[in-house]
Amino acid sequence: MDESCAACGGPVKRRFNPMERWGIEGPLCGKCYSEKIAAHYPGEHVRMGSEGG
């Protein structure tokens, strides 16, 4: 069974867990997680990945 994002209802390709202070129950998609991070923690956020990061 595929998961849906608790914020937008879209598909969750990679599961992100919301922080408790966000008041969201359930997984988040990458887009919504990034939006929440940017809203709650202003500044530049750099994702580290397997592609040289």
Angle at 53 between CA 26 and CA 47, to 5 degrees: 30
Model confidence at 50, pLDDT cuts 50, 70, 90, reads low
pTM, two decimal places: 0.74
Residue 48 has pLDDT above 70, yes or no: no
Tell me the percentage of the chain whose pLDDT exceeds 90: 62
Q: Name the 3-class secondary structure at 32.
A: helix
User: Which amino acid is it at 14?
Assistant: R
Within 10 Å of residue 34's Cβ, how many Cβ atoms? 14
Residue 41 has pLDDT above 60, yes or no: yes
- Over residues 18-38, the pLDDT tens digits come to 999 999 999 999 999 999 988
Q: Where are the domains positioned within the chain?
A: 1-45
